[in-house]
Amino acid sequence: MIFSYKLSFLLYMKYLKSLEKIKDFFGRIIENRGFSLLFLVRLSFEKLFSLYTNIVLEEV
């Protein structure tokens, strides 16, 4: 059980790092388009992350 929490924490940290990379990569587009594009990207990653952690926690 503790392992699954550590795994989900590590996955969340990777998720945050990937968000930073995406923000850096699409920085100019996001700045030009405004908040809506950043919100959609973040929302989709949060959805994928929650689905993945649910699967991992169910398997353990």
One digit per residue, the tens of pLDDT, for the chain of length 60 reads: 566 777 777 777 777 777 777 666 666 665 665 556 666 677 777 777 777 777 766 665
Q: What is the pLDDT of residue 18?
A: 76
* Count of domains observed in the chain: 1
CA 10, 15, 18, 24 torsion: positive or negative?
A: negative
| The pLDDT value given to residue 9 | 77
Name the residue range of residue 34's domain: 2-59
Task: Determine the 3-state secondary structure of 34 from DSSP.
Answer: coil
Q: Which pLDDT belongs to residue 26?
A: 66
Q: Does this model's pTM top 0.85?
A: no
The tokens describing 15, both together, are: 């998720």
